[in-house]
Structure 1
Amino acid sequence: MKIKVFILLWLLPFAAIAQSDTASIFKIFRDTTGGRKAVNVHQDPLIRLMVDRDITINQRHRGIADGYRIQIFSSFGNDSRERSKDIRINFLTEFSNFDPVRVYSSYEPPFIKVRVGDYRNRHEALEDYREIVEKYPDSYIVKTRINYPELKAEE
Structure 2
Amino acid sequence: MNAQETKSIIDELNTYYPGKGRVTIFEDEAIKGIVGRPITPKLPVYADPGTVPYVKMRGYKIQAFAGNDQRTSKNEAYRKQALINQAFPELETVIIFESPFWRLRVGNFRTREEAEEVLNEMRKVFPSFGKEMYIVPDEVKIPVDQPVN
Deviations 1:51-85 (A, max 9, x none): xxxxxxx567x721100000110111222111111
Counterpart mapping for 1:50-65 below 5 A = 63-65=55-57
Aligned-residue offset at 1:150: 5.1
RMSD (CA atoms) = 2.3
Residue in 1 aligned with 2:58? 66
Counterpart mapping for 1:18-37 below 5 A = none
Match of 1:146 among 126, 140, 144: 140
Gaps of 5+ in 1: 1-57
Residue in 2 aligned with 1:107? 97
Higher Rg: 1
Residue 88 of structure 1 contacts residue 114 of structure 1 at CA under 8 Å; is this kept in 2?
yes
Gaps of 5+ in 2: 1-43, 47-53
Residue 59 of structure 2 contacts residue 138 of structure 2 at CA under 8 Å; is this kept in 1?
yes
Which TM-score applies when normalising by structure 2? 0.54
Residue in 1 aligned with 2:14? none
Does 2:120 match 1:130? yes
Aligned-residue offset at 1:131: 1.0
Higher fraction of strand = 2
Higher fraction of helix = 1
Residue 118 of structure 1 contacts residue 149 of structure 1 at CA under 8 Å; is this kept in 2?
no
- Over the matched positions of the two proteins, sequence identity in percent amounts to 24
Give the whole-Å Cα distance in 2 for the aligned partners of 1:81 and 1:119: 25
